[in-house]
Structure 1
Amino acid sequence: MNNVKDIEYIKRFGANIRSLRIEKKMSQEELAYSSDIPISQVGRIERGEINTTISTVKAIANSLNLPIKNLFDFED
């Protein structure tokens, strides 16, 4: 279990969330408010600094009005 936290994957996930948010013309503040999570957490997720929870991923997907799978649609 040495590689449970894949830093590169977490960073790519965050970058994808940022891209989707910008595509929806939402600010971090708007996403945070509609997801009911702190704005600082949105920033940390987008920068790949934290490995977020499943419930937070669901809240973000709902706020972006996207299926959860779209948040993970960054893989080759």
Structure 2
Amino acid sequence: MIIKRYLEKNNISMYKIAKENNIAQTTIFNASNKKLDSLSFKILRAIAKSLNKTVGQVADELEQLDKEKDIK
């Protein structure tokens, strides 16, 4: 769920990330249903590449988004 919200916030689709990184769309979709702690480096790297960010930036932003969810 966190991945879906993050991608929406960054105006990018799972399809685009899959296409740009030669990853099966089902891989991205399955990752989108996992908890933040369960995401693979492969998925984080693909998202970062598509958004022109570092893996660290994406991880930090995902963690912040996850914390915001806990506050609400």
Q: TM-score range, shorter-chain basis?
A: 0.5 to 0.7
Which residue of 10, 16, 24 maps to 2:2?
16
Taking only aligned residues, the RMSD between alpha carbons, in angstroms, comes to: 2.2
Structure 1 residue runs of 5 or longer lacking an equivalent are: 1-14
Which has the higher Rg, Structure 1 or Structure 2?
A: 1
Using the aligned pairs only, state the percent identity: 20
How many residues are matched? 61
Is 2:53 the counterpart of 1:53? no
In proportion to residue count, which structure has more helix? 2
Q: Secondary structure at the match of 2:34?
A: coil
CA-CA distance at 1:58 after TM superposition: 2.1
Change (3 A) 1:19 1:54: same
Q: Secondary structure at the match of 1:71?
A: helix
TM-score, normalising length from structure 1?
0.59
TM-score, normalising length from structure 2?
0.61
